[in-house]
């Protein structure tokens, strides 16, 4: 499963991308506090049933909150369960079941206070439930997505301090530990052996029924700690075909359709509400910096100046997105937004190409249909490269094994990523120890900046360290993030409360407890 | 006759086993195993290794094939790799909608195409014949996905006469959702079958023995239906068998457009997830169906037109 987030992953199913990429999975966040521009209109009112169509994973789907991978699985899970924290719309962690967190001076012990919340069966959420949930996620042999993020916790040394306070001991200083608590799949289930066929969580809705690959029904939890949802009932339906989702919405079979193409959105914007969730998917190139030809920084810089970002937004993203500045995480917390925006500069690109000794070179360019737009971007960029006499030989790889293939081999690849905090992007992809380091960026000085950032409680100092890491990547990194696209969802005219600022997979995305029917 | 049937059944069993083994190695040859596919864009080597271990992919392909064939003989097709369900359970669930769609289509297809074919052959070259012949030819050339999208847009979204998809409802509790998919499924086979029947009827009506029974003074209706028709239908039976294969084989496009969770959808999901046991189980079901349907068609053709068969 690709990640769902991936737009397609099975693309059909959407998966998110996660770990790395994007598509697949997905990831994260939401913001709490300021819910962005929700589609407005009047006072919220209670009642009614909302049916939402997502792409899914077929008859093999499960309800295990620790196995979430597809967008629909995340939507289902967030209806039933909570995490200690969730990502806000700027990817900063927002407290959820954790009411507050407080690190020790050395950032290796974190004291988390739980809010007063109860599971659907009436039991309070207690530290033992949190510890048991995390133990289940990291148990040996598991491939659960949150495992790597939570493995920083020294679980045997962590303990409950009273009814609502947990003390986590970490294996290393980690100033942004709440990011790990908000990571995809880090949901809190009741301790003991959870019965996942009739899931009991602490989320805004309680479980009613589930047919894998078909339908999922939940009803309002009046006791929800964050306020009872407006909807009486929520039904998530599966339709892997985008045209079918749109037809179901137009035919009034559903009130919400997830993941539309820009073309459908434009065609139907008169009859339904179109919500373009910004900053949801990053599109780029990955150049392997440890081998020829991209071990010459001049060649990487030549590509930085070659790419016509505006044209890619128009042709690949169909205008539904914004240009990137070669850095991941546009407008997220700690993003270096003050760096001058790069644009196409063919003279400079040519000069750099010459300096790299790569004039007239031919370079293989890997791409595939693993996620929407990868192939189109590769073809467009290879076309742009002709202007400086560089031949990028586009090779279409297998879509099912693409992410694993480009991790191992090749030198230049189309890339994409779902939303995640800068910290996760760096720790998963850019450290010497990162397991999906697809640009082979291994720099001890860069690693040190990251570890220093995680070892300081001084917010200003941390922001400054992030700025330095990004400057280094901007100058000579292996990723070229040329654009960031919107995630498009549509709803019927009477649906209110859909947050239009929340990137896919953040707190306010698919947050049906705040949606109401006018 | 008995000998013929026994031979055909044995041949069918061999065919099914060959398909099973063939599918196994073809799936094996796909790039990326289930572990790589499940890991998706998070190809952390440790995650992939853990998945391989859990899915039993470390065993050799031969080992897994033999084990699987042995279990399959007992009707056990194993567990899905990506979910908690057994393959048998999964296929049974997915088969219900497909069987319903295919059954309904067949139930309408046979009388409709026979009727149209007989009508067209009534006066060869007449006005009715020309209308039926040209419209069936025209409809036959429209691919079903294009037809489906057109019909959904007009009859479901614009006119709202029928539901556009089966999302959120079941085929049995809300039969209106069946109308458009069955209609699309009918269109092309009706064209091919009715044309075959027309041709068969035209030939039969010109034949020596039909002229003979006509001279014997039987009524024209009786001549057509009792004597000409069975001979005309015999060649169409094989075509009908092929249509059944096509219907049961998932009608993947139709299932996707109308969101019907049938065998086609299950197969597409399983291939994408490299869910080997499910793919293999579905291959067995589809191969067995094909063999069974063709066997039945051959036997039926013999019974309908023993003379034609003997003449071969």
Q: Do A421 and A459 lie in a common domain?
A: yes
Total tally of structural domains belonging to chain A: 3
Query: Tell me: the pLDDT tens digits for A52-76?
Result: 999 988 877 889 999 888 899 999 9
Q: Within A307-373, where are the H helices?
A: 309-315, 346-355
Q: Residue A247 domain-assigned?
A: yes
Give me the sign of the Cα torsion angle A392, A395, A400, A406: negative
Are B163 and A398 an interchain contact pair (Cβ–Cβ within 8 Å)? no
In sequence order, the β-bridge partners of residue A170 are A153
Other CB atoms within 10 A of residue B220 CB: 10
Q: Residue A5 domain-assigned?
A: no
Q: Residue B60 domain-assigned?
A: no
Q: Residue B29 domain-assigned?
A: no
Give the pLDDT confidence score for residue B310 in this predicted structure. 44
Q: Quick one: average pLDDT of B247-264?
A: 80
Q: Residue B81 domain-assigned?
A: no
Q: Do A91 and A71 lie in a common domain?
A: no
**d(Cα A417, Cα A405) in Å, to the nearest integer?**
16
List C-alpha distances in Å: B244 to B18, B107, B181, B280.
21, 11, 15, 21
Q: Residue B283 domain-assigned?
A: no
Q: Residue A3 domain-assigned?
A: no
**d(Cα A83, Cα A185) in Å, to the nearest integer?**
8
Q: Do A258 and A319 lie in a common domain?
A: no
Please provide the distance, in angstroms rounded to a whole number, between the alpha carbons at the two ends of chain B. 15
Give the percent of chain A with pLDDT over 90.
81
Give the pLDDT confidence score for residue A41 in this predicted structure. 64
Inform me whether the pLDDT recorded for A353 exceeds 80: yes
Residue by residue, DSSP assigns B132-183 as HHHHHHHHHTS-HHHHHHHHIIIIIIIS-SS-S--TTS-TTT-THHHHHHHH
Confidence band for A39, pLDDT divided at 50, 70 and 90: low
**d(Cα A201, Cα A96) in Å, to the nearest integer?**
14
Looking up residue B177, the CATH number of its domain turns out to be 1.10.3720.10
Residue A50 at interface with chain B, using a CB cutoff of 8 Å: no
Query: Tell me: the pLDDT tens digits for A263-281?
Result: 999 999 999 999 999 999 9
Query: Tell me: the pLDDT tens digits for A205-223?
Result: 999 999 888 899 999 999 9
Helix then strand then coil, % of chain A, to nearest 5:
30, 25, 50
Residue A436 at interface with chain B, using a CB cutoff of 8 Å: yes
**d(Cα A483, Cα A25) in Å, to the nearest integer?**
18
From chain B, pick out residues whose CB is under 8 angstroms from the CB of A1: 37-38, 40, 82, 273
Q: Residue B238 domain-assigned?
A: yes
Give me the sign of the Cα torsion angle B100, B101, B105, B106: negative
Q: Which domain holds residue A155?
A: 82-192
Give the pLDDT confidence score for residue B38 in this predicted structure. 74
Are B32 and A398 an interchain contact pair (Cβ–Cβ within 8 Å)? yes
Q: Do A306 and A433 lie in a common domain?
A: yes
Nearest CA to CA, how far is A136 from chain B (Å)?
15
Q: Within A361-456, where are the H helices?
A: 374-385, 402-408, 422-429, 444-454
Q: Residue B175 domain-assigned?
A: yes
Are A243 and B163 an interchain contact pair (Cβ–Cβ within 8 Å)? no
A123: which 2 tokens? 């039991």
Q: Quick one: average pLDDT of A333-346?
A: 96
Other CB atoms within 10 A of residue B199 CB: 16
Q: Do A255 and A290 lie in a common domain?
A: no
Q: Do A55 and A148 lie in a common domain?
A: no
Do A109 and A185 touch, CB atoms closer than 8 A? no
Nearest CA to CA, how far is B65 from chain A (Å)?
22
Looking up residue A445, the CATH number of its domain turns out to be 3.10.105.10
From chain B, pick out residues whose CB is under 8 angstroms from the CB of A57: 82, 269, 273
Name every residue whose Cβ is closer than 8 Å to that of residue A195 and which is 6 or more positions away in sequence. Answer: none
In sequence order, the β-bridge partners of residue A187 are A83
Tell me, yes or no, if the pTM score tops 0.90.
Answer: no
Inform me whether the pLDDT recorded for A27 exceeds 50: no
Q: Residue B204 domain-assigned?
A: yes
Looking up residue A167, the CATH number of its domain turns out to be 3.90.76.10
Give the pLDDT confidence score for residue B21 in this predicted structure. 82
Biggest CA pair distance of chain B: 85
Do B304 and B297 touch, CB atoms closer than 8 A? no
- CB contacts under 8 A, A 60-89 vs B, are 60-62, 69
Q: Quick one: average pLDDT of B71-85?
A: 80
Q: Do A392 and A498 lie in a common domain?
A: no
Task: Report the Cα A440 to chain-centroid distance in Å.
Answer: 22
Q: Quick one: average pLDDT of A305-318?
A: 96
Residue A458 at interface with chain B, using a CB cutoff of 8 Å: no
Are B42 and A19 an interchain contact pair (Cβ–Cβ within 8 Å)? yes
Indicate the residue of B41, B157, B274 with minimum beta-carbon distance to A24.
Answer: B41
Q: Do A345 and A300 lie in a common domain?
A: yes
Q: Residue B288 domain-assigned?
A: no
Q: Residue A1 domain-assigned?
A: no
Give the pLDDT confidence score for residue A40 in this predicted structure. 57
Q: Residue A7 domain-assigned?
A: no
Looking up residue A27, the CATH number of its domain turns out to be 3.40.190.10
Closest by CA position to A420, among listed A175, A91, A31: A91
Q: Quick one: average pLDDT of B100-129?
A: 87
Nearest CA to CA, how far is A166 from chain B (Å)?
29
Inform me whether the pLDDT recorded for A22 exceeds 60: no
Are A12 and B167 an interchain contact pair (Cβ–Cβ within 8 Å)? no
Inform me whether the pLDDT recorded for A373 exceeds 80: yes
Please tell me which residue, B35 or A109, carries the higher pLDDT value.
Answer: A109
B57: which 2 tokens? 């992919």
Confidence band for B307, pLDDT divided at 50, 70 and 90: low
Q: Quick one: average pLDDT of A215-232?
A: 96
Confidence band for A313, pLDDT divided at 50, 70 and 90: very high
Q: Which domain holds residue B196?
A: 94-260
Indicate the residue of A9, A238, A253 with minimum beta-carbon distance to B164.
Answer: A253
Give the pLDDT confidence score for residue A28 in this predicted structure. 34
Total tally of structural domains belonging to chain B: 1
Give the percent of chain A with pLDDT over 70.
92
Query: Tell me: the pLDDT tens digits for B122-135?
Result: 777 888 888 888 88
Q: Do A343 and A466 lie in a common domain?
A: yes
Confidence band for A490, pLDDT divided at 50, 70 and 90: very high
Angle between helices B144-151 and B176-206 (to 10 degrees): 130
Are A60 and B40 an interchain contact pair (Cβ–Cβ within 8 Å)? no
Give the pLDDT confidence score for residue A38 in this predicted structure. 52
Q: Do A154 and A73 lie in a common domain?
A: no
Nearest CA to CA, how far is B188 from chain A (Å)?
22
**d(Cα A218, Cα A202) in Å, to the nearest integer?**
13
Q: Do A299 and A396 lie in a common domain?
A: yes
Name every residue whose Cβ is closer than 8 Å to that of residue A413 and which is 6 or more positions away in sequence. Answer: A285, A286, A365, A366, A367, A406, A438
Q: Do A412 and A351 lie in a common domain?
A: yes
Query: Tell me: the pLDDT tens digits for A123-150?
Result: 999 999 999 999 999 998 887 889 989 9
Query: Tell me: the pLDDT tens digits for B134-178?
Result: 888 888 888 888 888 899 999 998 999 999 998 888 888 888 999
Indicate the residue of B40, B47, B93 with minimum beta-carbon distance to A17.
Answer: B40
């Amino acid at each position: 499963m690709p990640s769902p987030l991936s737009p397609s992953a099975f693309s059909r199913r959407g998966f998110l991308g996660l770990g790395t990429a994007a598509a697949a999975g997905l990831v994260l966040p939401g913001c709490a506090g300021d819910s962005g521009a929700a589609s407005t209109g009047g006072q919220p009112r209670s009642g009614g049933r909302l049916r939402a169509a997502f792409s899914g994973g077929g008859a093999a789907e499960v309800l295990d909150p620790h196995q979430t991978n597809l967008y629909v699985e995340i939507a289902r899970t967030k209806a039933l369960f909570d995490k200690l924290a969730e990502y806000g719309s700027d990817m900063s962690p927002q407290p959820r079941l954790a009411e507050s967190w407080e690190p020790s001076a050395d950032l290796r012990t974190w004291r988390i206070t739980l809010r007063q919340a109860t599971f659907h069966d009436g039991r309070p959420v207690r530290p033992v439930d949190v510890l048991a949930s995390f133990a289940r996620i990291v148990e040996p042999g598991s491939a659960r997505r949150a495992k790597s993020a939570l493995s920083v916790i020294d679980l045997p040394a962590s303990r409950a301090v009273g009814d609502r306070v947990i003390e986590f001991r970490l294996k290393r200083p980690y100033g942004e530990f709440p990011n790990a608590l908000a990571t995809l799949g880090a949901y809190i289930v009741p301790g003991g052996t959870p019965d996942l066929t009739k899931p009991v969580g602490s989320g805004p809705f309680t479980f009613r029924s589930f047919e894998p690959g078909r339908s999922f029904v939940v009803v309002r939890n009046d006791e929800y700690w964050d306020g009872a949802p407006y909807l009486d009932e929520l039904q998530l339906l599966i339709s892997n075909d985008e045209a079918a989702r749109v037809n179901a919405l137009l035919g009034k079979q559903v009130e919400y359709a997830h993941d539309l193409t820009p073309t459908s959105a434009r065609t139907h914007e008169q009859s339904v509400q179109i919500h373009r969730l910004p900053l949801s998917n990053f599109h780029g190139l990955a150049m392997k910096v440890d081998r020829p030809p991209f071990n010459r920084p001049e060649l990487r810089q030549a590509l930085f100046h070659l790419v016509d970002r505006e044209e890619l937004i128009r042709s690949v993203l169909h205008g539904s997105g914004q240009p990137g500045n070669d850095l991941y995480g546009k407008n997220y917390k700690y993003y270096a937004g003050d760096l001058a925006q790069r644009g196409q500069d063919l003279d400079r690109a040519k000069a750099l190409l010459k300096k790299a000794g790569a004039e007239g070179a031919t370079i293989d360019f890997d791409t595939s249909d693993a996620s929407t737009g990868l192939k189109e971007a590769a073809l467009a960029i290879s076309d742009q490269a002709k202007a400086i006499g560089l031949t990028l030989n586009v090779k279409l790889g297998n879509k099912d094994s693409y992410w694993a293939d480009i991790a191992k081999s090749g030198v230049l690849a189309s890339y994409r990523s779902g939303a995640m905090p800068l910290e996760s992007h760096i720790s998963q992809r850019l450290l010497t120890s990162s397991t999906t380091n697809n640009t082979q960026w291994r720099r001890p000085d860069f690693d040190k900046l990251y570890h220093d950032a995680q070892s300081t409680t001084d917010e200003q100092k941390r922001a400054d360290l992030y700025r330095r890491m990004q400057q280094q990547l901007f100058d000579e990194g292996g990723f070229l993030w040329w654009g960031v696209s919107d995630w498009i969802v549509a709803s019927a005219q009477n649906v209110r409360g859909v947050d239009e600022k929340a990137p896919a997979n953040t707190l306010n995305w698919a947050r049906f407890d705040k949606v109401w029917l006018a | 006759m008995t000998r013929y049937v026994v031979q055909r059944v044995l041949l069918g069993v061999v065919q099914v086993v060959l398909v099973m083994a063939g599918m196994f190695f073809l799936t094996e040859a796909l790039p990326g195993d289930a572990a790589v596919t499940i890991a998706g864009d998070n190809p952390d080597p440790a995650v992939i290794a853990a998945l391989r271990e859990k899915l039993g992919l470390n065993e050799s392909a031969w080992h897994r094939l033999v084990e699987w064939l042995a279990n399959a003989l007992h009707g056990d097709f194993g567990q899905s790799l990506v979910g908690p369900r057994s393959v048998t359970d999964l296929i049974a669930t997915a088969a219900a909608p497909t069987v319903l769609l295919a059954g309904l289509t067949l139930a309408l297809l046979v009388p409709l195409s026979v009727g149209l074919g007989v009508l067209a052959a009534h006066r060869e070259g007449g006005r009715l014949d020309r209308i039926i012949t040209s419209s069936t030819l025209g409809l036959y050339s429209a691919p079903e996905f294009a037809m489906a999208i057109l019909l959904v847009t007009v009859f479901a979204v614009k006119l709202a006469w029928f539901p556009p998809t089966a999302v959120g409802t079941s085929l049995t509790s809300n039969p209106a959702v069946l109308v458009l998919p069955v209609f699309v499924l009918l269109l092309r086979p009706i064209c091919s079958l009715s044309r075959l029947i027309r041709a068969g009827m035209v030939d039969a009506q010109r034949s020596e023995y039909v002229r003979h029974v006509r001279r014997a003074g039987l009524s024209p209706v009786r001549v057509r239906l009792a004597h000409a028709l069975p001979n005309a239908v015999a060649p169409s039976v094989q075509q009908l068998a092929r249509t059944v294969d096509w219907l049961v084989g998932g009608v993947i496009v139709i299932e996707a457009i109308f969101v019907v969770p049938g065998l086609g959808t299950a197969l597409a999901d399983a291939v994408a997830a490299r869910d080997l046991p499910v793919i293999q189980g579905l291959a067995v079901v589809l191969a067995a169906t094909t063999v069974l349907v063709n066997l039945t068609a051959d036997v039926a053709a013999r019974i309908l037109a023993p003379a034609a068969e003997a003449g071969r």
